[in-house]
Chain A
């Protein structure tokens, strides 16, 4: 037996494990196939797909570029405003929650309860918050801002916690030893360590919130979602086309800018 064959024999034998996993996956696949039945497909589906493509290639340019309150441009600005303000609200509210959930700052049980709260906040779908906030503020962009803010808290706090738990405490110890006050320790010991990673997280979340804000209109919480669904319900494909084009272009731009900014933050 030469060296190569020995090496081959030494490889871990995981055939049984792989077979079991593969069987489970195949069973899950077969089980989930029962959810779809092809009889749902309407005869008109293909025609509608064609219409949507037609709308995308022949968008309503007037709707896209005029400056009234119904124009795509105005609605996109409103969507950005919802996402921006929501991100700010969420970013501020998430800071205390993150410190309460960091196991190196507070005692274990407190951190555990806060984490549970964060999981609950994260799991409830944004549209549910949207519908609840509409009862508070009435229809419109304000409800969207609150929704985006609340949904952001879950993820932001979770990522903040990661940054806080990586905090280099040696810096704080040395500051204590040279006699810094608590305020000075926070200002010069903690803030510089956390600020850039917090900002990077917030910019990333803003990027996600753009998508979030663009769907909130479907429940009436402002932004571009409502006109989109109205245009689709009334089969105005050229309007659908112009809204989709505007949305995609805007999200691409924001994603590009946010990636650039975050790369800069990471490099310092």
Chain B
């Protein structure tokens, strides 16, 4: 289509051959991006003027966070541990439940097309909802507190690990599975001894990676009342107690960094 409107440039080579060089798509892409940007600027009320004149306000607040209020530290431990517990529990249960979900969505294990399609659709629907929205809904069903946060994290973990896992299962070497079935093992036994060992390192690695991300997500769940450190952050920001917020953020950064380091160590070992 594009080539018909902007005809390719013909270049005659020294030996008399003619080659066609297609016109670059770049101008079209830039035009589309520019139009979208202009529309977005209008929709969101973006104004450089406000940005330039008021931006120092942002840095003033950041400045107030430094130095952090160390006296606030004892009050952070409880919510911080809650956050870690929530993400640990949610990730563990979620990763366990992801295994059957992934098997049900793997087209080379399950013969019924219907089951596969339904499981895949459910997994991708679950993945679409932002964790915070799931947590918000969970607070209505399970009450305020870490329970709701754990459920939200669990659902996200199922969808995330489940998706990566079924892609892995679909890519495994199916020969061993078929061989074991043909010598009279049940499907479950064959799965356990032929496929499970193949996917295990990837499965654990994905789960660990998901857990890393979940610690970050768990930190904000408190904003909708689903427990954890977000509750304290929200409170601190509400009272404009910025040195305390600075302390919380510092603790959060150190925690997330440590967890990432540990998990990275084990993930490197697995691969």
| Chain A contact residues, CB within 8 Å of chain B | 25, 28-29, 31-38, 40-42, 45-46, 48-49, 52, 77-78, 80-82, 84-85, 88, 119-120, 123-128, 131-133, 135-137, 140-142, 144-146, 211-212, 214-215, 218-219, 222, 225, 228-229, 232, 244, 247-248, 251-252, 255
Task: Choose from A32, A77, A135, A251 the contact partner of B85 (Cβ within 8 Å).
Answer: A32
B157 to chain A, nearest CB (A): 13
A49 to B148, CA, bound (A): 13
CB–CB A132/B61 < 8 A: yes
A32-B85, A214-B133 known; A127+B147 contact, CB < 8 A: no
Residue pair A29, B58 in contact (C-beta under 8 Å): no
Beta-carbon nearest neighbor of B223 in chain A: A127
Q: List 13 A-B contacts (CB under 8 A).
A: A32-B88, A32-B92, A40-B147, A41-B143, A78-B44, A125-B219, A141-B44, A142-B44, A218-B136, A218-B224, A228-B133, A228-B136, A255-B128
18 additional contacts (CB under 8 A) given A81-B43, A123-B216: A25-B92, A29-B88, A29-B92, A32-B88, A32-B89, A35-B85, A45-B140, A78-B44, A81-B40, A125-B230, A136-B55, A141-B45, A142-B50, A146-B51, A228-B136, A229-B136, A248-B125, A252-B128
Q: Determine if B193 is an interface residue (Cβ-Cβ < 8 Å).
A: no
B142 on interface, CB distance cutoff 8 Å? yes
Which residue from B82, B85, B125, B223 sits with its C-beta under 8 Å from A219?
A: B223
* Residue in A82, A126, A135 whose beta carbon sits within 8 Å of that of B57 in the complex: A135
- CB–CB A41/B142 < 8 A: yes
Q: CB within 8 Å of A: which residues of B?
A: 33, 36-37, 39-41, 43-47, 50-51, 54-55, 57-58, 61-62, 81-82, 84-86, 88-89, 92, 124-125, 128-130, 132-133, 136-137, 140-148, 150, 216, 219-220, 223-224, 227, 230, 233-234, 237, 245, 249, 252-253, 256-257
- The reply to whether B45 and A142 contact each other, CB–CB distance below 8 Å, is yes
CA of A37 to CA of B148, assembled, Å: 11
Q: Which residue of B lies closest to A134 (CB)?
A: B237
Given A40-B142, A41-B142, A81-B43, A33 and B89 touching (CB < 8 A)?
Answer: yes
Q: Are B39 and A81 in contact (CB under 8 A)?
A: yes
Taking the nearest CB of chain A, how far is it from the CB of B205, in angstroms? 14
Q: Which residue of A lies closest to B57 (CB)?
A: A136
If A28-B88, A123-B216 touch, does A48 touch B141 (CB 8 Å cutoff)? yes
Main secondary structure of the interface of B (DSSP, over half): helix
Question: A49 vs B84: C-alpha distance in the bound complex, in angstroms?
Answer: 27
Within the assembled complex, what's the spacing in Å between the Cα atoms of A252 and B123?
12
Contact B89 A29 (CB under 8 A): yes
Closest A residue to B220 by beta carbon equals A125
Q: Are A123 and B253 in contact (CB under 8 A)?
A: yes
Determine the distance from Cα of A38 to Cα of B141 in the docked complex, in whole angstroms.
Answer: 12
A45 neighbours in B (Cβ, 8 Å): 140-143
Task: With a 10 A CB-CB cut-off, give which of B47, B55, B130, B224 has the most chain A CB atoms.
Answer: B130
| B89 contacts A84, C-beta separation under 8 Å | no
What separation, in Å, do the CA atoms of A215 and B132 have in the docked complex? 7
The answer to whether residues A128 and B249 also contact, given A136-B58, A137-B50 and a CB cut-off of 8 A, is: yes
Most buried by A among B37, B223, B230: B223
Query: For the complex, what is the distance from the CA of A145 to the CA of B50, rounded to whole Å?
Result: 13
Which residues of chain A have C-beta atoms less than 8 A from B81's C-beta?
Answer: 35
**Are A34 and B233 within 8 A (Cβ)?**
no
Assembled-state Cα–Cα distance A46/B143 (Å):
11
CB neighbours (8 Å) of B46 from chain A are 85, 142, 145
Contact A37 B147 (CB under 8 A): yes
Q: Which residue of A lies closest to B219 (CB)?
A: A125
Whether B144 and A40, one on each chain, are in contact in the complex, defined by CB atoms closer than 8 angstroms, is: yes
Does A144 contact B44, Cβ atoms closer than 8 Å? yes
With beta carbons under 8 angstroms apart, the residue of B50, B57, B145 that contacts A40 is B145
A36 cross-chain contacts in B, Cβ below 8 A = 89, 145-147, 150
A174 to chain B, nearest CB (A): 23
Q: Which of B41, B61, B143, B148 has the most CB of A within 10 A?
A: B143
The answer to whether residues A218 and B40 also contact, given A49-B141, A128-B233 and a CB cut-off of 8 A, is: no
Q: In the complex, what residues of B have CB within 8 A of residue A125's CB?
A: 216, 219-220, 230, 233, 252
Distance between Cα atoms of A126 and B217 in the complex (Å): 10
Query: Of the candidates B41, B54, B82, which one forms a contact with A85 in the assembled complex, judged by CB atoms under 8 Å apart?
Result: B41
Q: How far is the CB of A100 from chain B (nearest CB, A)?
A: 19
For the complex formed, measure the closest distance between the CB of B200 and the CB atoms of chain A, giving whole angstroms.
12
